[in-house]
Amino acid sequence: MDTIIALWFPVLATATSVFFLSFLFWMVLPHHRKDIQALPDETPIVDAIDSLAVPPGLYMWPNCVDPADYRSEAFIARYRQGPWGTITIRGSKPNFRKNLMVTFGVYLGVAVCSGLLVLWGLGEGGTFMDVFPPAAIMGFLAYGLGPICGATFLGKPLRFMITDFADGLVMAVTNGAVLAALWPAVG
């Protein structure tokens, strides 16, 4: 139990380090600047969404309400012709404070899981190289591989997935390195 209590600082420092990296990747460094593009003219699309009173949610087109319609000639023709896309409609303007807090909560959850995974496998004590591999692997699963599943299915551009994956690798190494560097010693 003492070791679990002693993990609070390493876990908090790990989550904070990854959060800071995420800030650097998206707000300071240039590699994400071309990942999310602006429409040539968003006004007709915004007006159409507004006039249809589309409720908040994730939408994909072409799509059908009834799965039986996927076999209809009309749907097949629309599917073959395109365009194809996905769009997320939000219920309100983004609340960056809330979004950042939730993001930090996710990073904190990954750091907690990493710490508990290492503690479960290693027990108390251990060297940097005892702690680093499992904590970095946990970070890689969360930050490197996790986002790819949804991104692939929703058709995000390859460039977006590559930059996100590269960020995930750096975040995974940071997850492992900070946790390992601050891992509590025995006694």
How wide is the angle at C-alpha 56 spanned by C-alphas 54 and 62, nearest 5°?
60
Q: Cα(7)–Cα(23) distance, rounded to whole angstroms? A: 24
Q: Cα(186)–Cα(122) distance, rounded to whole angstroms? A: 12
Assess whether pLDDT exceeds 80 at residue 186: no
Q: Give the per-residue pLDDT at 187.
A: 46
Quick check: 181 and 128 in contact, CB under 8 A? yes
Assess whether pLDDT exceeds 60 at residue 4: yes
- The structure's pTM equals 0.84
What the block records as the tokens of 47 is 């007006």
pLDDT > 90: what percent of the chain? 73
Quick check: 35 and 157 in contact, CB under 8 A? yes
Q: Give the per-residue pLDDT at 154.
A: 84
Q: Give the per-residue pLDDT at 3.
A: 67
Q: Give the per-residue pLDDT at 150.
A: 85
Q: Give the per-residue pLDDT at 61.
A: 93
